[in-house]
Amino acid sequence: MPAERVPGKPTTRRYSDQEKVQAVRLVRQLRAELGSEYGTVQRIAKQLGYGIESVRSWVRQADIDEGVTAGTTTADVERLKRLEQENRELRRANAILKSASAFFTGSSTLRGEVGSTGR
């Protein structure tokens, strides 16, 4: 039985890495056979039952990753995400240290003032 669908809300299909690699390979083979890029993505996507734009983006990203076209590689994107996360964590730790420093500096100043005026 097919899963019950909510009207107006499309389902998102997750493709495995093997499915993506296969689709890219088939598009490239068809392009080589035909000697043209026109319609190859649509034809392969239809044969496999995949979304046309999904296949098109996989082929585009594979071309970038292999250096065929210019762009940000998958490895660079992952590296940027990791560095941005590290940056956020360091900023958070820095803010905590600043507030702790202000707390301890403020409380020692108060003790010093109270001690000097009280005696």
> What is the residue extent of each domain of the chain?
15-71, 72-119
Please choose, from the candidates 17, 16, 60, the residue with its C-alpha nearest in 3D space to the C-alpha of residue 40. Answer: 60
Number of residues that make up the chain: 119
* Residues 43, 66: Cα–Cα separation, whole Å: 23
15: left (phi over 0), alpha (psi -120 to 50) or beta: beta
Q: What is the pLDDT of residues 6-46, one digit of tens each?
A: 566 667 778 888 999 999 999 999 989 888 888 899 999 99
Q: What is the pLDDT of residues 71-111, one digit of tens each?
A: 889 999 999 999 999 999 999 999 999 999 988 887 655 45
Is domain 15-71 given the CATH code 3.40.50.300 in the classification?
no
| Amino acid making up residue 110 | L
The answer to pTM > 0.85 is no
